[in-house]
Amino acid sequence: MRYSLIQIQSIVEVARCGFHVSKAARRLNTSQSVVSKHLKSFEDVFGRQVFRRAGKRLIGLTPEGEKIMEYAERIIRDHDSIGKIGAEADSTQRESLSLVTTPTLARYLLAATVKKFTQMHPLVHLHIQVEETDKAIEGLRHGLYDFAIVPIGKLPVADFIVTPLTDWHRSLIGLPECPLFDGRALTLQSISAEPIIAFKTPTISLHDTFENGGVQINTTLTTSNPEVMKAYAKLGLGVAVVASPTFDKAQDAPLIARDVSHIFPPVRIAALQTPAAYQSVMQSKFLDYLKLSVQRTP
């Protein structure tokens, strides 16, 4: 025996509507004659009556109909549950996700993750706002963004859920003719002897390391952008201390680099989330992709 879903829906709906076929037809968005046809075709295949009748009117269920109804209602519930799964998945995929980060992290840390996320979740609208760290954190506090990925420095973040992601170590960059690249050991004192293009934001400042070491820095200029630092270093205006991932030996030639992670503290990068948004499915997926990307980066 084979029964169609529409036959079972017709039986259940008629019973739910007090055995009024016309009401069931309206709820099923069809005609009374079509519903009656489905009921008759089911009973013909089943071989017994499902409904008790008084003339042409339906007045109740037969004993067999009572038993059938238990299974029929279960089938309809399961069918509705399957539909809800699809609707929930579609709703999740179509959500929007807003991320705020710094210009440097947007370019050097997040690019591969953004590519992966958009490929895996093409229906999610991902908005990336680029701000300096202080403005990013303030915007997150005011609910302008779902989460932030920023360097952790001087600004307070105790009111956020903080997920550490990675540490970026530092490199000294400059032109090959600079004496700091002749192979001798580097110290704060030796670096301070050369003109320095210094990095400074409200969160992180190169000056702090020199001040803590009691060394006076010889600053040519100060900027918050590693691209500006590299451009001016190529002009011979000084050396610069940059986060190592922002330097590419081939693309940034003729500049060369030396590791100075033993002198300057790393840039600690973390995801910041408000407690209310912490359980977002799409945020979690984005951060999972980012963590995998960081682990694979040498």
Between CA 35 and CA 96 the distance in angstroms is: 42
The pLDDT value recorded for residue 154 is 75
pLDDT tens per residue, range 202-220? 777 888 888 888 999 888 8
For the chain, the first-to-last Cα distance in angstroms comes to 63
Task: Give me the percent of the chain exceeding a pLDDT of 90.
Answer: 49
What stretches of 50-95 show up as alpha helix (H) in DSSP? 63-93
The pLDDT value recorded for residue 79 is 76
pLDDT tens per residue, range 27-45? 888 999 999 998 889 888 8
Looking at residue 248, what DSSP letter applies? -
Residue 9 has pLDDT above 60, yes or no: yes
The pLDDT value recorded for residue 116 is 94
Which residue did the predictor score with more confidence, 96 or 250? Answer: 250
H helices then E strands: how many in the chain?
11, 12
54, two tokens:
């008084």
Residue 238, exposed/middle/buried by CB under 10 A (0-12, 13-18, 19+)? buried
CB under 8 A, 24+ apart: contacts of 107-113: 108/243, 108/245, 108/246, 109/149, 109/166, 109/245, 109/269, 109/290, 109/294, 110/149, 110/290, 112/293, 113/286, 113/289, 113/290, 113/293
The pLDDT value recorded for residue 294 is 85
Q: Measure Cα distances from 135 to 46, 64, 195, 202, 270 in Å.
A: 70, 70, 30, 10, 16
Residue labelled with tokens 């001798």: 184
CA dihedral of 273, 276, 282, 288, whole degrees rounded to 10 = 40
Domains defined for the chain, CATH in brackets: 5-93 (1.10.10.10), 97-167+268-296 (3.40.190.10), 170-265 (3.40.190.10)
Task: Give me the percent of the chain exceeding a pLDDT of 70.
Answer: 93
Nearest alpha carbon to residue 159 among 143, 144, 141, 147: 141
Weakest mean pLDDT among 64-68, 84-88, 258-262, 293-297: 84-88
Q: Considering the chain, what is the average pLDDT of its residues?
A: 88
pLDDT tens per residue, range 142-192? 889 999 999 987 777 888 889 999 999 999 999 999 999 998 899 999 999
Q: Measure Cα distances from 264 to 231, 244, 278 in Å.
A: 22, 12, 33
211, two tokens:
């001040």
- The three-point CA angle 224-225-229 to 5° equals 105
pLDDT tens per residue, range 46-95? 888 999 999 889 999 999 988 988 888 888 888 777 766 665 555 555 57
Mean pLDDT calculated for residue range 115-144? 91
Residue 272 confidence class, pLDDT cut points 50, 70, 90:
very high
Contact 147, 118 (CB under 8 A): no
Between CA 272 and CA 126 the distance in angstroms is: 17
Residue type, 102: T
The pLDDT value recorded for residue 130 is 95
The pLDDT value recorded for residue 86 is 60
